[in-house]
Amino acid sequence: MARTVWRSSLGKKTVMAVSGIVMLLYLVAHMIGNLKIFFGPGEFNHYAHWLRTVGEPFMHEEWTLWLIRVALVVAVVAHAVSAYQLSRRDLRARPVKYVHKKPRTSYATRTMRWGGIILGLFIVWHLLDLTTGTAHPGGFQEGRPYQNVVDTFSTWYGNTVYIAAVLALGLHVRHGFWSAAQTLGAGSRTRDRALKTVADVLALLLTAGFVAVPVGVMTGVVS
C-alpha cells in the first residue's frame, strides 16, 4: 500500500508538501529566534544555550535538538528525492523539446528547481559557517553565536550569500506553500485567492525577518 502511494505522482507530491511544511515550521521558528540578536549578546547566546537544554530534566542535554535535527534531515532528503523523481518523470513524459521555442517546463517549475538546488547548497555552507564553524570567517567561538553571526555579516561575501539565499527562500516558499495547499486539497475556487495572500504574506515575513539580521549588522545596529 505505502509502496503504491509512494510510486504515484500524487504520493510524491504529498511527501513534498508534508516535508515542505515541516521545514517551513522550522524556518518560522528559526527566523523568530534570530530576531533575538537585536536584544544583545546576552539574550541571543542564552537562547542558543536554551536550544541545547530544552526538555530537561526529562530529556538529556541536546536530545531535543537532535530530535529536531533528525526530523529536518528526513524532511530535506524526502523533499529532494521526491523533487528529483518527479522531474525525471516530467522529462520522460516529454523527452523531445517542443519544435517552437517554448520551454519544456513552466517558469514556476524552473525557478522551484533552481531555487531548491541553491537552498540545498546554502544549507551546507550555512552549517559549515555557523554550526560547525569549519568555513567561518575569523575564529569560530563555540557557544557564542552572537559574535559568530556578527563575524559572518562583517564580510561582503557573507552578506551576499545569505541575502541571495533568503531571497531564493522567499520565492520558493511563496510558490511552494501554494502548491502544497493544492496537493493537500485545501484549494478551491473560493479559497484560492486567500491561499495566495497567505503564501505572499508568509514569504514576505520570512524574507524580511531573515534579511533583518545581515542588514542589522551592516548598518551597525547589531555589533
Which residue ranges make up the site for ligand HEM (CB under 6 A)?
Answer: 27, 30, 34, 48, 51, 69, 72, 119, 123, 126-127, 130-131, 145, 149, 162, 165-166, 169, 210, 213-214
Q: Which is nearer to ligand HEM, 34 or 82 (CB)?
A: 34
Q: State in angstroms the smallest separation of the CB of 176 from ligand HEM.
A: 12
Q: Which is nearer to ligand HEM, 118 or 186 (CB)?
A: 118
Q: What is the rounded distance in angstroms from the CA atom of residue 104 to the CA atom of residue 123?
A: 29
Q: State in angstroms the smallest separation of the CB of 16 from ligand HEM.
A: 16
DSSP string, 122-154: HHHHHIIIIIS-TT-SS---TT-HHHHHHHHTT
Q: Which is nearer to ligand HEM, 52 or 196 (CB)?
A: 52
Residue nearest ligand HEM, CB atom distance? 48
Q: Which is nearer to ligand HEM, 46 or 191 (CB)?
A: 46
Q: State in angstroms the smallest separation of the CB of 166 from ligand HEM.
A: 6
Q: Which is nearer to ligand HEM, 19 or 34 (CB)?
A: 34
Q: What is the rounded distance in angstroms from the CA atom of residue 36 to the CA atom of residue 25?
A: 18
Q: What is the rounded distance in angstroms from the CA atom of residue 204 to the CA atom of residue 188?
A: 23
Helix 9-34 vs helix 156-183: angle between axes, to the nearest 10 degrees? 140
Q: What is the rounded distance in angstroms from the CA atom of residue 149 to the CA atom of residue 131?
A: 11
Q: State in angstroms the smallest separation of the CB of 107 from ligand HEM.
A: 22
Return the half-sphere exposure (C-beta side, CA atoms, 13 A cut-off) of residue 147: 8
Q: State in angstroms the smallest separation of the CB of 127 from ligand HEM.
A: 6
Q: Which is nearer to ligand HEM, 71 or 81 (CB)?
A: 71
Q: State in angstroms the smallest separation of the CB of 2 from ligand HEM.
A: 27
Cell of 202: 508568509
Bin 133: left if φ > 0, else alpha if -120 < ψ < 50, else beta: left
In the three-class reduction of DSSP (H, G, I as helix; E, B as strand; rest coil), residue 223 is classed as coil
All residues at 6 or more sequence positions from 164 whose CB lies less than 8 Å from its CB, including other chains:
118
| Radius of gyration for the alpha carbons in the chain, expressed in angstroms and rounded | 20
Q: State in angstroms the smallest separation of the CB of 62 from ligand HEM.
A: 9
Q: Which is nearer to ligand HEM, 98 or 157 (CB)?
A: 157
